[in-house]
Amino acid sequence: MPSLRARLVELALPLLGVKRFFSEPDRMDARIAKMRQKPSPRPRGKWHREFDIVEEELDGFPVVHMTPKGGAQAGGLHLLYLHGGGYVMDIAAIHWEAVGHLCAATGASASVALYPLAPEAKAAETVAGVEALFARLAERHGPGNIAILGDSAGAGMALALAQRLAGEGAGKPAALVLYSPWLDATASDEGQAPIEPKDRMLAIAGLKACGSRYAGDLPLTDPRLSPLFGQLDGLPPIAIFAGTHDILLPDARRLVEKLTALGAKPLYREYEKMFHDWMLFPIPEGRQALDETAAFLSNVRGGSAA
């Protein structure tokens, strides 16, 4: 049974306007244009007291680095975070809160990529950009010290990045963490329709609209935007979190099935009656998911993760 706070937050989700955004694709471009007029949020003051926060331009887009006060531990874990938002929305305040909590819980430093958004940018260039960013971070921290994390569309991008690194024989990241992952831009899984009435954030029509704006000249099944159809062997240890009130639940389940068939042992956490991206919200279940993530990352560093 979800906590009272989780139930109240779920009831209030439509007030955020996200469901309306995804339910009215014919008005999406106008709403995106309006979003672009607003400044992108940055970490609040609390995190500046705990971390040295520096922003720089790398490979054509801003990257925010968070390092624990006093300096990062040599050879310590570094998080690369890719935020969600259907590839068209900017980072939100709750993303910074989640990254800050994970860094505080693990002692890690982090880099948050404010990657170019669709429809102005397309999948081919964006994935190439985050791959170049990973290469730069690997030079600084070592590829085996980097964990790639993402939520929703950012989780899809995280898996696409890990696939490209594996395919090219590049240094393998330490781990991969996927929150409410969007892994199939076709949004064609028949299991999504029965969940849609319960999902108070996403709509199938909106997913398809976002996917088409991000795809450019690529087919929607291209692994750069639908990594569920890409190669899944040779990946680092993976943790996947999903909720049963999220239309992206079938994507997470299909990924787990495919990984298991390959002999992998992903950490999979499916929370009953939890909504899209609940891991990022200030609710008990969200904090539990972040704590489970921190434990997973610590186990990976300790060599005990599958």
CATH number of residue 111's parent domain? 3.40.50.1820
Helix (H, G, I), strand (E, B) or coil at 181: coil
Domain assignment of residue 218, yes or no:
yes
pLDDT greater than 60 at residue 230: yes
Percentage of residues of the chain with pLDDT beyond 90: 92
Instruction: Give residue 171's pLDDT.
Output: 84
Q: What is the pLDDT of residue 305?
A: 47
Amino acid at 207: L
Question: In percent, how much of the chain has pLDDT > 70?
Answer: 98
Q: Residue 304 pLDDT more than 70?
A: no
What pLDDT score was predicted for residue 287? 97
Which residues in the chain belong to E strands, given as ranges?
51-58, 61-68, 78-82, 109-113, 146-151, 175-179, 238-243, 267-271
Quick one: tokens of 206?
């909106």
pTM for the model stands at 0.97
**What per-residue confidence (pLDDT) applies to 227?**
98
Report angle CA 91, 93, 95 to the nearest 5 degrees. 65
Asked, for residue 217, whether it belongs to a domain, the answer is yes
Helices (H) and strands (E) in the chain, counts: 11, 8
Indicate the number of domains in the chain: 1
Which position has the token pair 């929703």? 152
Order of strands across the sheet with 238-243? Answer: 51-58, 61-68, 109-113, 78-82, 146-151, 175-179, 238-243, 267-271
pLDDT of residue 306: 42
- pLDDT tens-place string over residues 130-165: 999 999 999 999 999 999 999 999 999 999 999 999
Reported as a pLDDT band with limits 50, 70 and 90, residue 73 is confident
* ω into 266 cis (within 30 of 0): no
Cα angle at 141 between 137 and 144, to 5 degrees?
A: 100
Distances (CA, A) of 73 to 32, 77, 141, 300: 40, 8, 10, 17
Task: Tell me the pLDDT of the chain averaged across its residues.
Answer: 95
The tens digit of pLDDT for each residue in 191-209 reads: 999 999 999 999 999 999 9
254, part of any domain: no
Non-local CB neighbours of 142 within 8 Å, separated by 6+ positions: 75, 171
* Residue 251 located in a structural domain: no
pLDDT for the residue numbered 302 = 65
288 has a pLDDT exceeding 80: yes
Q: 261 or 305, which is more confident?
A: 261
Please report, for residues 32, 148, 243, the alpha-carbon distance to residue 302 in angstroms, rounded to integers and kept in the order given.
Answer: 43, 17, 28
76 within domain boundaries: yes
Q: What average pLDDT does this structure show over 101-124?
A: 97
**By residue range, what is the domain housing residue 157?**
4-245+262-268+277-301
Residues contacting 71, CB < 8 A, separation 6+: none
Res 1: pLDDT: 87
258: helix, coil or strand?
helix
165-182 tens-digit pLDDT: 999 877 899 999 999 999
Q: Give the pLDDT of residue 141.
A: 94
